[in-house]
């Protein structure tokens, strides 16, 4: 016999709204949850109304999500409180009764979005629900049953309406992973770098990569290892690589203003120890990604990475521009390889070809890709015939630039001719410096014009000084 689907209210944190659908879709596919969105407002609203026939499956999804704050079984919702009370009175009593037993403690919370209510106003609203057939004792801390009344006043906190657009009432079911971001905060992390990924985006990437317990996860441009921490939190066994010897050995300048020099024990492994994830840490290797050393039969469940763009971090690979260069035998043991420019086109070419070869079928590549917003077209994104682009989210960086979080899924094994495909994309770094220099010139011209206008207005020009 099929279970009856019930309605639930999924309440999101109002951050990185662009990434919500991609994360939820990835988790639904991974956990095989039958949650179906319905009756939803615009995409900027902080909630979804969904249907699910399995509350247990829904809890698993919510407990894994970074975007979701909490989830409620929705007993009633309306455009005003009078209609809400009418609907709540008509809600089937047999669905309420399991939560209104004498031995079950309860509390009712009042929450508003984009408008502040005083404590007295909240109490007055609580008293309007006195008709509910509640039998158990009130318990404000960790009750058996938590009921929630929410008023939604839109998303413009500077000009909220007098009355809410929608009101909701329901039973609290589960909470998301918002507390995990505090635990993994960069402010308290042992080892960070200038480009360390913040915890929320790192966890979002791990969710879109569908990292499961026991998965093998690779970050080939590991930096200070933020993405490894996120993947390990979800049970992945993590390994990383990077060409930057100084970064991996914590020999670079400290990123914190108050820190004059790095501690002797700073490392990616120290971060894993800090979060009790050392059993998930395999290793970090100093290597040139352009010269892959992996065996052909090595497979990863997911690859999560943020390749360098050549702006704050150099894009380099081992090589030399000298012709017929050869290291003599006597200098070979102490030789430090020279490096040359590793263009963005080559980075993404190698990344996609590597992923097509070394991801398992169904495995995912999640990576950032920089773009100029005015030039952006989906057909200009990197791609590979063995990898299906399943999600594409934008994080705005400035008025002219952004970066796209691309999620690819491997759909088939590559043929021999597909192991070294070219990747013709715009060189972000080259245009970035051209645009930056043009912007500087425009700013200097504008500042000079303003100074001249102010000088004329001050009355200090030659004509005003002659009397």
Q: Give residue 467's pLDDT.
A: 42
Residue 449, in any domain of the structure: no
Mean pLDDT within 53-71: 94
Nearest to 194 by CA among 369, 312, 344: 312
Of the listed ranges 7-11, 63-67, 243-247, 284-288, the one predicted with least confidence: 243-247
> Would you say residue 230 has pLDDT above 80?
yes
Residue 191, in any domain of the structure: yes
> Would you say residue 12 has pLDDT above 70?
yes
- Of residues 154 and 441, the one with the higher pLDDT is 154
Strand order in the sheet with 36-38: 36-38, 47-52, 6-12, 68-78, 166-175, 145-152, 106-113
Q: Give residue 4's pLDDT.
A: 78
> Would you say residue 310 has pLDDT above 80?
no
Residue that terminates a domain, selected from 176, 202, 221? 176
Task: State how far Cα 147 lies from the chain centre.
Answer: 30
CATH of the domain at 215: 3.40.50.150
302 and 163 within one domain = no
> Would you say residue 3 has pLDDT above 50?
yes
pLDDT tens figures, 80-128: 999 999 999 999 999 999 999 999 999 999 999 999 989 999 999 999 9
79 and 33 within one domain = yes
- Report, in this order, helix, strand and coil percent for the chain, each rounded to 5: 30, 25, 45
CA angle in degrees (0–180, nearest 5) for 190-180-8: 170
- 1: pLDDT confidence band, cut at 50, 70 and 90? very low
Residue that terminates a domain, selected from 176, 196, 211? 176
Secondary structure (3-state) at 372: strand
Nearest to 34 by CA among 72, 65, 8: 8
Residue that terminates a domain, selected from 176, 195, 226? 176
242 and 221 within one domain = yes
230 and 168 within one domain = no
Judge whether 333 and 377 are in contact, CB under 8 Å.
no
Residue 215, in any domain of the structure: yes
For the chain, what is the radius of gyration of the CA atoms?
Answer: 28
Mean pLDDT within 177-203: 93
- 462: pLDDT confidence band, cut at 50, 70 and 90? low
Could you tell me the pTM of the whole model?
0.89
Q: Give residue 461's pLDDT.
A: 55
Q: What are phi and psi of 7, to 5 degrees?
A: -90, 140
Query: What is the total count of domains within the chain?
Result: 2
160 and 208 within one domain = no
210: alpha, beta or left, given left = phi > 0 and alpha = psi -120 to 50?
Answer: left
Residue 437, in any domain of the structure: no
> Would you say residue 334 has pLDDT above 80?
no
Mean pLDDT within 3-25: 91
Residue 400, in any domain of the structure: yes
Of the listed ranges 50-54, 230-234, 324-328, the one predicted with least confidence: 324-328
140 and 234 within one domain = no
Residue 456, in any domain of the structure: no
Residue 342, in any domain of the structure: yes
Secondary structure (3-state) at 250: coil
Judge whether 153 and 114 are in contact, CB under 8 Å.
yes
91 and 196 within one domain = no
| Token representation of residue 430 | 């080259």
Mean pLDDT within 404-420: 95
Residue 458, in any domain of the structure: no
User: Quick one: what percent of the chain has pLDDT higher than 90?
Assistant: 63
Mean pLDDT within 308-337: 73
Q: How many helices (H) and strands (E) does the chain have?
A: 14, 16
> Would you say residue 318 has pLDDT above 90?
no
Please report the sign of the dihedral spanned by the C-alpha atoms of residue 27, residue 29, residue 30, residue 35. Answer: positive
Mean pLDDT within 157-184: 93
Q: Select the highest-mean-pLDDT range: 14-18, 239-243, 300-304.
A: 300-304
Rounded to the nearest 10 degrees, the angle between the axes of helix 20-31 and helix 55-64 is: 130
209 and 347 within one domain = yes
Average pLDDT, the chain: 89
Q: Give residue 335's pLDDT.
A: 64
> Would you say residue 76 has pLDDT above 70?
yes
Q: Give residue 463's pLDDT.
A: 54
- Measured between alpha carbons, how far is 110 from 124 in angstroms, rounded to an integer? 10
User: Quick one: what percent of the chain has pLDDT higher than 70?
Assistant: 94
Q: What contacts 24+ positions apart, CB below 8 Å, involve 426-431?
A: 426/371, 426/372, 426/375, 426/380, 427/343, 427/344, 427/345, 428/309, 428/310, 428/344, 428/370, 428/371, 428/372, 429/309, 429/310, 429/311, 429/315, 429/343, 429/344, 431/372
Q: Which residues contact 301 (CB under 8 A, 6 or more apart)?
A: 211, 212, 215, 216, 217, 236, 359, 360, 363
CATH of the domain at 97: 3.30.2130.30
130 and 108 within one domain = yes
Of the listed ranges 17-21, 43-47, 115-119, 348-352, the one predicted with least confidence: 43-47
- 41: pLDDT confidence band, cut at 50, 70 and 90? low
116 and 198 within one domain = no
- 466: pLDDT confidence band, cut at 50, 70 and 90? very low
Q: Give residue 22's pLDDT.
A: 95
Please report the sign of the dihedral spanned by the C-alpha atoms of residue 127, residue 133, residue 138, residue 141. Answer: negative
192 and 263 within one domain = yes
Which segments of 128-168 does DSSP mark as H helices, in order? none
Domain residues for the domain of 92 are 6-176
Q: Which residues contact 180 (CB under 8 A, 6 or more apart)?
A: 66, 199, 203, 233
191 and 171 within one domain = no
- Measured between alpha carbons, how far is 99 from 356 in angstroms, rounded to an integer? 51
| Token representation of residue 400 | 């002219």
- Measured between alpha carbons, how far is 86 from 69 in angstroms, rounded to an integer? 28
Mean pLDDT within 441-457: 80
Nearest to 228 by CA among 182, 177, 189, 188: 189
| Token representation of residue 336 | 């430090």
Other Cβ atoms less than 10 A from the Cβ of 157: the count is 12
Tally of CA atoms within 13 A in the half-sphere of 352 that contains its CB: 26
């Amino acid at each position: 016999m099929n279970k009856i689907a019930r309605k639930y209210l999924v309440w999101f944190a109002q951050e990185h709204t662009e990434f919500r659908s991609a994360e939820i879709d990835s988790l639904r596919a991974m956990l095989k949850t039958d949650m179906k969105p319905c009756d939803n407002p615009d995409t900027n609203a902080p909630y979804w109304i969904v249907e699910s026939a399995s509350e247990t499956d829904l809890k698993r999804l919510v407990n894994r999500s970074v975007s979701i704050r909490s989830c409620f079984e929705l007993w009633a919702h309306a455009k005003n409180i009078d209609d809400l009370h009418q609907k709540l009175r008509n809600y089937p009593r047999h669905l309420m009764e399991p939560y209104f037993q004498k031995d079950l403690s309860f509390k009712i919370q009042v929450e508003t979005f984009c408008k502040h209510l005083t404590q007295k106003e909240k109490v007055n609203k609580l008293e309007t629900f006195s008709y509910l057939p509640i039998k158990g004792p009130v318990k404000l801390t960790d009750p058996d049953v938590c009921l929630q009344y929410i008023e939604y006043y839109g998303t413009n906190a500077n000009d909220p309406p007098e009355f809410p657009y929608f009101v909701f009432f329901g039973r609290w079911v589960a909470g998301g992973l918002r507390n995990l971001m505090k635990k993994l905060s960069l402010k308290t992390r042992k080892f960070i770098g200038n480009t360390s990924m913040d915890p929320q985006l790192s966890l979002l990437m791990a969710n879109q990569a569908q990292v499961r317990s026991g998965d093998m996860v690779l970050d080939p441009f590991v930096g200070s290892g933020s993405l490894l921490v996120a993947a390990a939190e979800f049970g992945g066994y993590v390994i990383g690589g990077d060409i930057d010897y100084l970064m991996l050995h914590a020999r670079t300048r400290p990123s914190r203003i108050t820190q004059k020099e790095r501690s002797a024990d700073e490392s990616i492994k120290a971060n894993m120890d800090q979060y009790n994830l050392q059993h998930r840490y395999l290793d970090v290797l100093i290597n040139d990604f352009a010269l892959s050393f992996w065996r052909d039969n090595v497979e990863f469940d997911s690859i999560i990475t943020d390749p360098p763009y050549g702006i704050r971090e150099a894009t380099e690979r081992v090589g030399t521009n000298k012709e017929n260069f050869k290291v003599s035998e006597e200098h070979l043991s102490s030789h430090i390889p020279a490096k040359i420019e590793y263009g963005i086109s080559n980075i993404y070419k190698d990344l996609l070809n590597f992923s097509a070869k070394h991801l398992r079928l169904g495995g995912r590549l999640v990576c950032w890709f920089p773009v100029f917003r005015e030039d952006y077209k989906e057909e200009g994104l990197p791609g590979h015939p063995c990898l299906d682009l399943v999600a594409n989210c934008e994080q705005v960086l400035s008025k002219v630039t952004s970066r796209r979080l691309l999620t690819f899924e491997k759909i088939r094994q590559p043929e021999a001719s597909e192991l070294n495909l070219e990747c013709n994309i715009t060189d972000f770094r080259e245009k970035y410096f051209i645009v930056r220099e043009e912007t500087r010139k425009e700013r200097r011209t504008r500042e000079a014009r303003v100074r001249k206008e102010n000088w004329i207005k001050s009355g200090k020009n030659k004509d005003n000084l002659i009397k």
